[in-house]
Amino acid sequence: MTDARTSRRGFLAGSAMAPLLAALPQWVQAGAARIDAGTPELWYDQPAGPWIEALPVGNGRLGAMVFGRPAQERLQLNIDTLYGGGPYVQDNPKFREALPQVRSLIGQQRWQEANELVAAALMGKPNKQMPFSGAGDLLLDFPGLKSAARYRRSLDLDSAIARASFFDGSARHQREVFSSVPDQVAVIRLEIVGEGVIDLDLGYRHPDYQPYGSFGDTKYDAHGVVYVGAPWDHRESPLTDKRPASLAVRADGSDALLIEGRNVQAFGIEGLLRYALRVQAVGDGRIEAIGDQLRVRGARQLTLLVAGETSYVSYQDVSGAPVATVRQRTAAAARKPFAKLRQDHVDAHRAPFRRLHIDLGGDEANARPTHVRIQDVPRQADAALTAMYVQYARYLLLSSSRPGSQPANLQGLWNEVLHPPWEGKYTININTEMNYWPAGPTNLGECVEPLLKMVEELAITGARTARDSYGARGWLAHHNTDLWRATAPIDGPLWGMWPTGGAWLCTTLWQQYQYQPDAAVLRRLVPLFTGATQFFLDTLTEDPQGRGLVTSPSLSPENEHHRGVALCAGPAMDRQILRDLFDATLAAQKLLGQADADFTAAVQKARARLPADRIGAQGQLQEWLEDWDAGAPEQQHRHVSHLYAVYPSEQINVRDTPELAQAARVTLNTRGDESTGWATAWRLALWTRLGDGERAYKILQGLLGPARTYPNMFDAHPPFQIDGNFGGAAAILDMIVQSWGGEVHLLAALPKAWPQGRLHGVRAHGGVELDVDWQDGRLARAQLRGRAGQRVALRHRGRRIEVMLDARGQARVDPAAFASPA
């Protein structure tokens, strides 16, 4: 096929998906499926129009957006390793020689010269990283379908199944779509009840961007057709969404399609990946290949099994066999009855999903379509929508981050185009970390495994950057990374010259470990923390004004302190992250009995010389060592990096550091409550941790409303970024149960809008699991589960008590114990 529709360069990217990892001892197994969850569903009385109305399904590796269109259903596909490029080294060879001069220029505040030298000698080559791509569309045309009366589509969070149903005359059409973890396929089930049959023409549409060249080869075999793409060059990354042209493919028998693409260049990096998609049809109708389409006629029940894979084996190996893999997966799934496929999927999803239940009341709102409820916020109170927002975030995390998959990226697993905004990769100066904020408290510890694996790989590539660029031991990563685990600074001196991304990933893993302690995980964490700490022991420099040890060059993520200038030494966020990193490293080593006296002394000495947090002339928490906040160009900047110490850290808190907590409030008031999606979620979390439930609730209404939540409940940055969903869910739980300072804080920021409710299965530090009920804004019941003999400190209404778990690892708390303040 060489017509205009197929004269394009096929996008290549991806990874060979490794087999699912064996379950970790506690991290994966924590929390049995005890709760009989009557979880609300997202539902609509009309099909999806634009992508932000479609409903997501995913198994960590293979994702789909389901549009629910009656006459031509569209399933937009994603493969978690479908990225541009191939293994590459990005480190700038001029970096090490230029580094001392850059530090000197920053020390002299010769900003323009420092900017120019950083851009020329320190930025990675290329100065961008590889994009996460869409994998095209399956198009299901239903000839002869005349009407779609009594239409309804939904996403059931408890079963992880997207559904659509409608009537065409007297025939009722029922459709289900899910992406199975056990079978590693997406399943499309079509049924008809009453008179009539299912007629289907199925085709594939490539996620084409521009018509460069043509497909290089077309191969036919007994199972379908293979397309091998010619080179496709996307050296730049425009943010426009140019719609793909349609592409129909041939099939033979019940094997609907088999596509393989190859992309040769991406941002100047050779594209070495191949990818494959395969659909196998199983049903009671006549299934055959006619021309360019798979045709089904006269079916009453039809199951389409979809597999997608790339040749990615690891960040340095692209030798996988995606064609063989997708054949194997679809063939294996075809041997199972549909009922078994469905039940295995549901069981695998419910096991972790049902660990947590949240009820804030207002269930009568579930009778209204989801997009209508979002549109009505904040004019109409909808506590049940808030509860569903939490469960939807848990659903998204389970769907986009499973053992064996890649971590959730900037869009989780779902992206429509070849060139997503910000390449859709991993931005590790907040967004990737925020993706995992809810994992621990919402009892989904297994979802952290892909992040841990990525950090282990970054410790290898980051060691090269540390050695070659900084002349240092250990490892680091800057503010972005991708499938290929690039660790050099990118994007220019206003954004990329930040050396603390790897350190923040480490503190994120440590925070998650607190929720589900496990010796096997700890053994993996210690070398990561030790290496990250060694890098900073070697690279911290003396502040020219004698204020201690500082990072240089660095910046406070994405914020300018003078117009056009972000470069600086020792921003507050760096100092805060390093305090947490150093503490975590020493604590982890001690737990494993691996503490080294000389190393411990060096870390403690360096930590003591990190400048303390400062309060500026306006009473604000200073973002930089100098009191530049009042003159900074963007007073309402989306990042609040220097408030890391408040959340997700606990260095600044209302109990131990009240003056710094008040300074944080001043900063937040200056920044304002309205920002981008993820930044709104961070503000919500910060006010929650500061104990102001009413301010937090006000911000939450802005997050849930149509300005920051799309009709399918995806977070609107805009455009879509999934971190707002995850950060918002974590903050909502923090309004009810907080875990910091060695204590579990009950109803610490509960707003008046939720006078009664239940939160069961929430996790706290120490691996404790809690069931909390409240009535009239007061604690009514608290049940704890953990290790036998474990002591847990609880704080509520100003009073602190200690509870010891019994021989079964359980305890019930008498609310009367908190009747009067301490």
pLDDT digits 0-9 by tens, 373-393: 999 998 998 999 999 999 999
Looking at residue 221, its pLDDT comes to 38
Cβ(484)–Cβ(272) under 8 Å? no
pLDDT digits 0-9 by tens, 704-730: 999 999 999 999 999 999 999 999 999
Cβ(456)–Cβ(507) under 8 Å? no
What DSSP string describes 1-68?
--SGGG-SPPP----PPPPPPPPPTTTTT-S---------EEEESS---SGGGSEEEE-SSEEEEE--
Looking at residue 560, its pLDDT comes to 96
Give how far Cα 659 sits from Cα of 237, 323, 618, 652, Å: 45, 61, 13, 9
Cβ(123)–Cβ(129) under 8 Å? no
- Of 272, 278, 277, give the one whose Cα is nearest residue 312: 272
Q: Could you say which DSSP state residue 230 is in?
A: P
Q: Is 794 helix (H, G, I), strand (E, B) or coil?
A: strand
Q: Which has the higher per-residue pLDDT, 619 or 231? A: 619
In whole angstroms, give the CA distance from residue 529 to residue 584: 7
Cβ(102)–Cβ(41) under 8 Å? no
Determine if the peptide bond prior to 706 is cis (ω within 30°). Answer: no
Report the relative pairing of strands 265-266 and 233-234 from DSSP bridges.
Answer: parallel
Specify the range with the lowest mean pLDDT, choosing from 287-296, 388-397, 517-526: 287-296
Answer whether residue 15 shows pLDDT above 60.
Answer: no
What DSSP string describes 270-321?
E---EEEEEEEEEESSEEEEETTEEEEEEESEEEEEEEEEES-SBTTB----
Answer whether residue 539 shows pLDDT above 90.
Answer: yes
Structure tokens at 134: 């869409």
Cβ(216)–Cβ(248) under 8 Å? no
Cβ(625)–Cβ(570) under 8 Å? yes
Q: Is 773 helix (H, G, I), strand (E, B) or coil?
A: strand
Structure tokens at 749: 């920021």
Looking at residue 291, its pLDDT comes to 60
Cβ(244)–Cβ(138) under 8 Å? no
Give how far Cα 23 sits from Cα of 19, 344, 395, 514, 780, Å: 12, 17, 19, 19, 36
pLDDT category of residue 31 using cuts at 50, 70 and 90? very low
In sequence order, what are the residues at sequence separation of 6 or more whose Cβ sits closer than 8 angstroms to the Cβ of residue 343? none
pLDDT digits 0-9 by tens, 626-666: 999 999 999 999 999 999 999 999 999 999 999 999 999 99
Q: Is 400 helix (H, G, I), strand (E, B) or coil?
A: helix
Looking at residue 265, its pLDDT comes to 52
366: part of which helix (H) or strand (E)?
A: none
Q: Which has the higher per-residue pLDDT, 275 or 484? A: 484
Give how far Cα 48 sits from Cα of 69, 304, 336, 704, Å: 7, 21, 31, 20
What are the φ/ψ torsions at residue 681 (nearest 5 degrees)? -60, -40
In whole angstroms, give the CA distance from residue 558 to residue 543: 22
Q: Could you say which DSSP state residue 185 is in?
A: S
- Of 554, 478, 515, 532, give the one whose Cα is nearest residue 766: 515
Determine if the peptide bond prior to 821 is cis (ω within 30°). Answer: no
Answer whether residue 466 shows pLDDT above 70.
Answer: yes
Across the strands, what pairs with 44? 153
pLDDT digits 0-9 by tens, 683-702: 999 999 999 999 999 999 99
In whole angstroms, give the CA distance from residue 646 to residue 696: 14
pLDDT category of residue 7 using cuts at 50, 70 and 90? very low
Q: Is 789 helix (H, G, I), strand (E, B) or coil?
A: coil
pLDDT category of residue 208 using cuts at 50, 70 and 90? low
Q: Which has the higher per-residue pLDDT, 13 or 364? A: 364
pLDDT digits 0-9 by tens, 567-579: 999 999 999 999 9
pTM tops 0.85, yes or no: yes
- Could you tell me what percent of the chain has a pLDDT over 90? 78
- Of 348, 354, 350, 412, give the one whose Cα is nearest residue 180: 348
Determine if the peptide bond prior to 553 is cis (ω within 30°). Answer: yes
Looking at residue 1, its pLDDT comes to 29
Answer whether residue 462 shows pLDDT above 80.
Answer: yes
What are the φ/ψ torsions at residue 118 (nearest 5 degrees)? -60, -45
Looking at residue 235, its pLDDT comes to 28
Q: Which has the higher per-residue pLDDT, 741 or 85? A: 741
548: part of which helix (H) or strand (E)?
A: none
In whole angstroms, give the CA distance from residue 724 to residue 410: 10
Looking at residue 287, its pLDDT comes to 84
Specify the range with the lowest mean pLDDT, choosing from 303-312, 388-397, 807-816: 303-312
pLDDT digits 0-9 by tens, 242-269: 322 223 333 333 334 455 554 545 566 8
Determine the residue type at 396. Answer: L
Q: Which has the higher per-residue pLDDT, 419 or 298? A: 298
155: part of which helix (H) or strand (E)?
A: strand 149-156
Answer whether residue 217 shows pLDDT above 80.
Answer: no
Domain with CATH 1.50.10.10 in the chain: 95-128+444-621
Cβ(583)–Cβ(622) under 8 Å? no
Give how far Cα 523 sits from Cα of 451, 456, 459, 507, Å: 16, 12, 15, 15
Cβ(312)–Cβ(349) under 8 Å? no
Specify the range with the lowest mean pLDDT, choosing from 44-53, 118-127, 416-425: 416-425
CATH number of 95-128+444-621: 1.50.10.10
Tell the burial category of 254 from Cβ atoms under 10 Å away from its Cβ (0-12, 13-18, 19+): buried
Q: Is the dihedral of CA 745, 751, 752, 755 positive or negative?
A: negative
Give the number of residues written for the chain.
822
Cβ(711)–Cβ(374) under 8 Å? yes
Average pLDDT over residues 131-140: 88
Specify the range with the lowest mean pLDDT, choosing from 228-237, 260-269, 501-510, 605-614: 228-237
In sequence order, what are the residues at sequence separation of 6 or more whose Cβ sits closer than 8 angstroms to the Cβ of residue 513? 521, 522, 525
Average pLDDT over residues 83-97: 94
In sequence order, what are the residues at sequence separation of 6 or more whose Cβ sits closer than 8 angstroms to the Cβ of residue 420? 131, 132, 133, 134, 410, 411
Domain with CATH 2.70.98.50 in the chain: 4-84+130-316+328-355
pLDDT category of residue 507 using cuts at 50, 70 and 90? very high
pLDDT category of residue 821 using cuts at 50, 70 and 90? low
Across the strands, what pairs with 179? 186
What DSSP string describes 744-798?
EEETTT--TT-SSEEEEEEEETTTEEEEEEEETTEEEEEEEE-STT-EEEEEETT
Looking at residue 25, its pLDDT comes to 31
Specify the range with the lowest mean pLDDT, choosing from 15-29, 167-181, 524-538: 15-29
pLDDT category of residue 756 using cuts at 50, 70 and 90? very high
- Could you tell me what percent of the chain has a pLDDT over 70? 87
Give how far Cα 624 sits from Cα of 16, 88, 218, 272, 506, Å: 44, 34, 58, 43, 23
Cβ(71)–Cβ(145) under 8 Å? yes
Across the strands, what pairs with 269? 266
693: part of which helix (H) or strand (E)?
A: helix 693-704
Q: Is 431 helix (H, G, I), strand (E, B) or coil?
A: helix
Determine if the peptide bond prior to 421 is cis (ω within 30°). Answer: no
Looking at residue 89, its pLDDT comes to 94
Q: Is 457 helix (H, G, I), strand (E, B) or coil?
A: helix
What are the φ/ψ torsions at residue 233 (nearest 5 degrees)? -105, 120
User: Domain 4-84+130-316+328-355 adopts which CATH fold?
Assistant: Beta-galactosidase; Chain A, domain 5 (2.70.98)
In whole angstroms, give the CA distance from residue 302 to residue 306: 13
Average pLDDT over residues 745-756: 97
- The mean pLDDT of the chain is 88
Answer whether residue 133 shows pLDDT above 70.
Answer: yes
Average pLDDT over residues 261-280: 70
Cβ(649)–Cβ(621) under 8 Å? no
Specify the range with the lowest mean pLDDT, choosing from 219-233, 588-602, 728-742: 219-233
Structure tokens at 462: 């980051």
Looking at residue 677, its pLDDT comes to 94
